[in-house]
Amino acid sequence: MTRPISQLALATALAATTFAPAAANTTREDSTRVTTSAAAPATVTEIKPPVAEKRAHTYTHHGITIEDPYDWLYDKSYPVVDDEDVLAHVKAENAYFEAKMEAQAPLTEALFTEMRARIKEDDSTVPQKDGDYIYWSEFEEGAQYRKHWRKPAAGGEAQLLIDENQLAEGLEYFRLGAASISQNGRFLAFSTDTSGGERYTARIKDLQTGELLPDELTNLRGGLTWVANDTALVYGPSTEEWRTLEARLHVIGTPVEQDVTLYKEEDQSFGVGAGLSAQEDWLIIATGDNETSEVRLVPAANPTAEPILVKARNKGVEYSVDVRDGELWVLTNDDHINFRLAKAKLETPGDWQTVIAGSDEFYLTEFDLFKDFFVTEGRLGGLDQIQLRSYADPANITPITFPEASYTAGLSDNPEYAVSKLRLSYQSMVTPSTVYDYDVATGGLTTLKTQEIPSGYDASLYTTQRLTVQARDGTMVPVSIVMRKDRAEILKKAGIEGPGPLHLYAYGAYGYAIPPGFSTTRLSLVDRGFAYAIAHIRGGDDLGRRWYLQGKLFERANTFNDFVDAGRGLIAQGFTAEGMVTASGGSAGGELMGAIINQDPAQYGAIVAHVPFVDVLNTMLNKDLPLTPGEWQEWGNPITDKAAFAYMLSYSPYDQVAARDYPPLMVTAGLNDPRVTYWEPAKWVAKLREVKTDDNLLLLKTNMGAGHGGQSGRWNSLKETAEEFAFILWQMGMAGER
């Protein structure tokens, strides 16, 4: 939509953490009081797990009273966390984590070294033309962050746009957010987060002089969109509750206090965003929650003009729009669960005429308009599809095909409207990330770049397959799996006879599908004899929109059951054995981890839960938390709905902790995390320590200067992954094996 620095989306993806995107809440031994002395250094044999004090606290809703003795770990001054008892406990947990992991430091370092050896340090993205310039980004050898460059398409010297390393110098945390070049190519607007709290500050750089303009936009989220002939920016300020309820216009060179609100949303559960149409002549202002949309259009040259409402919101109806040659294009689920594509005249924007009807088989997820053709993307049988279509005959499809039976593919960086080639991305569980150019006229694919693995990678050593496992209600759940062809020999050398360990991963929420993609870090488990599986469980939209709906609200338990049953099915098929399944998930996937160990703890040998959304009921009852109102459509509203309260209580991992044996567990949190607040994992771990009946290791690590995605910087993030894998190998008795 808005003109980005070319390849910025790819850079963001490469910097992402090992678990699925931030999505949950989008957006837990002796009861003596913890003191700061608990954090004092001690030897591995001496240090004992921190014991959180139990303080009487109850609440009642719908006639049901809940005891919550660890509520005090929620610092009520949040987002400021300055309660001394809370900080002492969090630091004590960190000290315990460091002490227990100290013996695994050599393994962690070895894993980090081999993971780093698989990464090309001086790497760059494939350059892409956008207007008068060619854009790319690159890592220099040893650098934590990227540099972003451009040069004139007609020839000339390269120009450094942003050096993230320079911006991050001296900071514990840094992340580049939005970055947008003005249409005339002179100005760069960009935003940065220096705490992990996802409250960004935007600046504007004059690319002719290299100077930063005095304009500064603080406490914002979302994109930065150039309008009014490059004289103004549209942005989304954040409320104190971390909600984006406005689209605001800033005229360059004027005081921020004079900024104009173009649209303000009154519904606290909705969020507002803005971008440009395909031809960049319309500003599109969208508002919505997880199930309902509403869109307005304003001329980009005159953003304060009276907006055109496309169609008033109708609960449960989602739609997104684009404009081409004065004609409105609409993707909507108004008459089919898997969406249809429609058109309308701007004079009658709500009169939608079907172009591509909804289909039970094909799940239509995206459309992109170009000058001479348009592209639809979706999934068929759970596999990605890219289809070229003509405006004259939209039913005539030219599919872009790929040779592997299981893969993930899609449009990549295509910033220009008039193109003869499309930039594509492709990978599978055995094929490294590949960038193609697709020639629209000939149908030819040209490989521009294949992910380089400096330490070496031989795809022929690995095998991947996509199989199905029957869940308890008869539903067939797809599972993608990769392993070494010589896995049996590797395990035999490690002294393991019979089925070996298997790592199972999933997310299962918000309709977010986990594609069967490639991972260099994953090889550190697979090369040691692990099978690695992705369970495409309900709650994601891997098999269509209905697949997602069958894992939300009052069908949420399907998500947990699918994961448990997928593991049991893989055990039955001989891929692994009981107690040899390890699992990981983050955010809503961390909620999944909490639910499965409450349901079937014996299956798992080790669990890693990243920033886990485990205190579900309390969070959904707290309307003042940043994301809660917008989440009621996903999880239910326990404040007003007794049935939702009871159902949520039945699966909320924190509330369902019981006196039973649990597998070894590693939990992470971020003190500045606005999505899954730090106290959720802290309360969960405190309760587990109190009631679990085993002696298995339970660790909590809280990043004191980071948020939902963990530490920033590619090496810092990689070190955390190495730490996670060291924990898994240690708990599976494979710490010394290679």
Residue 209, classified by CB atoms within 10 Å of its CB into exposed (0-12), middle (13-18) or buried (19+), is exposed
Residue 723, classified by CB atoms within 10 Å of its CB into exposed (0-12), middle (13-18) or buried (19+), is buried
Q: What is the DSSP letter of 553?
A: G
Select which of 148, 503, 610, 708 is catalytic: 708
Tell how strand 581-586 and strand 502-505 pair up: parallel
Q: What does the chain come to in residues?
A: 738
Strand order in the sheet with 383-389: 362-369, 374-380, 383-389, 397-400
- Catalytic, 673? Answer yes
Phi-psi region of 703 (alpha: psi -120 to 50; beta: other; left: phi over 0): beta
Residue with tokens 């993930």: 408
Residue 660, C-beta contacts closer than 8 angstroms, at least 6 positions apart: 601, 692, 693
Helix axis angle, 557-572 to 588-599, nearest 10°:
60
DSSP helix/strand/coil, 166: helix
d(CA 549, CA 555): 8
Phi-psi region of 112 (alpha: psi -120 to 50; beta: other; left: phi over 0): alpha
d(CA 600, CA 588): 18
Select which of 536, 565, 673, 717 is catalytic: 673
φ and ψ of 166, to 5 deg: -65, -40
Two tokens, residue 231: 């004289």
Select which of 587, 652, 712, 717 is catalytic: 587
d(CA 578, CA 500): 10
Say how far residue 90 (Cα) sits from the centre of its chain.
25
Helix axis angle, 714-731 to 84-101, nearest 10°:
70
Q: Nearest Cα to 650, choosing from 664, 638, 632?
A: 638
d(CA 178, CA 151): 20
Q: Please answer whether residues 655 and 647 qualify as being in contact, where contact means their C-beta atoms are separated by less than 8 angstroms.
A: no
Tell how strand 327-332 and strand 319-324 pair up: antiparallel
Q: Nearest Cα to 284, choosing from 305, 264, 265, 308?
A: 308
Two tokens, residue 523: 């090889």
DSSP helix/strand/coil, 711: coil
CB-CB neighbours of 697 under 10 Å: 16
d(CA 427, CA 436): 11
Residue 610, classified by CB atoms within 10 Å of its CB into exposed (0-12), middle (13-18) or buried (19+), is buried
Two tokens, residue 240: 């104190």
E runs forming strands in 649-714: 665-670, 698-703
- Catalytic, 293? Answer no
Residue 474, C-beta contacts closer than 8 angstroms, at least 6 positions apart: none
- Catalytic, 587? Answer yes
Two tokens, residue 714: 């590619």
Two tokens, residue 703: 């990043």
φ and ψ of 241, to 5 deg: -90, 10
Residue 146, C-beta contacts closer than 8 angstroms, at least 6 positions apart: 11, 15, 137, 138, 139, 164, 176
Alpha helices in 485-544 (DSSP H): 487-493, 523-526
So which residues are the catalytic ones? Answer: 587, 673, 708
